[in-house]
């Protein structure tokens, strides 16, 4: 990556209005579609085995999310993923709950083995379990395990041969050589379901317009975290319900200038 131009990358998303094909979970489907629309992307949810591959090949990116997986949606994910790979369309993967059950862990590993995934995004425990480390996880939430997220992102990127985004209080992005930490965000994000899932789809929108996946991921994380900071400020004293609505507003209001002004990220190593 030469130089990260955050505002240009955000602007490109809004100009191109990328079609983001999501095969995602039933909890977050509506929130994800609204968040992508607020950003300036074009969401489509299509999880039938009969059409998943056809939809994937006309999209700018494909987002796979195993939050409420079942055998049919997993089959659709593999079909869509293979079509996306064939057409050189980036595949972004959220291994929701990997480590919580054997089915989730094995399915996440199967997806990583059978598809060429461009970016994987999860909390620390999910990413650790995908690479065979046994970190504690509580359902779909990160749990109390406090491993080193920086080391995890780097080793996972090397093992999985893709860009890894590990989120938490601070987010780490690594391709195994270059590594960035992004500090934007707000703790109230953990009180609204689907904020991790929507983030994965937002990374999908950025990856749909920016081939450099480190740039796409860092820009998406900074933009998303800034929108959360602004929304939290505007809804201070209120609760997660008001925050959720204001967050959608801010996803459409945060400008390239805001991103240049408020982004908080640094390069840790390599590249
Ligand atoms: P979990 O279910 O464990 O919360 P997740 O898949 O929902 O995982 P998160 O790790 O919560 O994903 O990340 C979603 C967004 O919330 C990211 O932008 C991240 O930076 C932000 N975030 C999470 N925890 C905090 C925190 N304590 N302070 C600031 N931002 C946070
Ligand atoms: N259960 C299955 S998927 C899901 C829940 C609660 C949503 C998880 O969303 P996120 O973004 O990981 O918090
Ligand atoms: Mg969460
Ligand atoms: Mg999650």
**Looking at the domain assignment, is residue 68 inside a domain?**
yes
Question: Residue 192 and residue 246: Cα distance in Å, rounded?
Answer: 12
For residue 60, CA distances in Å to 8, 18, 26, 41 come to 18, 6, 22, 10
Is 83 within 8 Å of 53 (Cβ atoms)? yes
Q: Is the ipTM of this complex over 0.90?
A: yes
**Looking at the domain assignment, is residue 201 inside a domain?**
yes
User: What's the pLDDT score for residue 3?
Assistant: 63
User: What's the pLDDT score for residue 2?
Assistant: 47
**Looking at the domain assignment, is residue 1 inside a domain?**
no
Question: Residue 71 and residue 57: Cα distance in Å, rounded?
Answer: 22
Question: Residue 131 and residue 16: Cα distance in Å, rounded?
Answer: 34
The ligand minimizing its distance to the Cα of 142 is: 1
Percent of the chain with pLDDT over 70: 97
| Residues of the chain below pLDDT 50 | 1-2
C-alpha 88: how far from chain center? 19
Axis crossing angle, helix 195-207 with helix 6-16, rounded to the nearest 10:
90
User: What's the pLDDT score for residue 139?
Assistant: 86
Residue span of the structural domain in which 222 resides: 6-269
Cβ–ligand 1 contact at 95 (below 6 Å): no
**Looking at the domain assignment, is residue 235 inside a domain?**
yes
**Looking at the domain assignment, is residue 39 inside a domain?**
yes
Cβ–ligand 2 contact at 95 (below 6 Å): no
**Looking at the domain assignment, is residue 230 inside a domain?**
yes
In sign, the C-alpha dihedral spanning 182, 183, 185, 187 is positive
- Domain tally, the chain: 1
Kindly give the number of the ligand 1 atom that is closest to the alpha carbon of 189: 16
User: What's the pLDDT score for residue 271?
Assistant: 55
Cβ–ligand 2 contact at 195 (below 6 Å): yes
Q: What CATH number does residue 228 fall under?
A: 3.40.1190.20
Summarised one tens digit per residue, pLDDT across range 145-194 is 678 999 999 999 999 999 999 999 999 999 999 999 999 999 999 999 99
Is 199 within 8 Å of 81 (Cβ atoms)? no
Kindly give the number of the ligand 2 atom that is closest to the alpha carbon of 199: 11
């Amino acid at each position: 990556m030469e130089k990260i131009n955050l505002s240009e990358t955000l602007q490109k998303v809004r100009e191109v209005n990328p079609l983001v094909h999501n095969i995602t979970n039933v909890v977050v489907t509506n929130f994800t579609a609204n968040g992508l629309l607020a950003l300036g992307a074009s969401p489509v949810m299509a999880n039938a085995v009969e059409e998943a591959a056809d939809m994937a090949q006309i999209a700018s990116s494909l987002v796979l999310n195993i939050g409420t997986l079942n055998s049919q949606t997993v089959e659709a994910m593999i079909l869509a993923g293979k079509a996306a790979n064939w057409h050189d369309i980036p595949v972004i993967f959220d291994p929701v709950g990997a480590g919580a059950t054997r089915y989730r862990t094995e399915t996440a590993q199967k997806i990583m083995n059978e598809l060429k995934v461009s970016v994987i995004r999860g909390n620390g425990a999910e990413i650790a379990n995908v690479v065979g480390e046994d970190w504690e996880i509580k359902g779909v939430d990160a749990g109390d395990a406090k491993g080193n997220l920086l080391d995890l992102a780097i080793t996972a990127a090397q093992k999985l041969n893709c860009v890894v985004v590990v989120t938490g209080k601070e987010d780490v992005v690594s391709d195994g050589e270059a590594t960035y930490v992004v500090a934007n965000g707000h703790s109230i994000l953990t009180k609204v379901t689907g904020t991790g899932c929507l983030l994965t789809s937002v990374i999908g929108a950025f990856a749909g317009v920016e081939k450099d996946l480190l740039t796409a991921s860092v820009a998406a994380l900074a933009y998303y975290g800034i929108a959360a900071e602004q929304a939290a400020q505007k809804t201070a004293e209120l609760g997660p319900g008001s925050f959720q609505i204001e967050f959608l507003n801010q996803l459409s209001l945060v400008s390239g200038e805001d991103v240049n002004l408020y982004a908080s990220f640094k390069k840790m190593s390599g590249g």
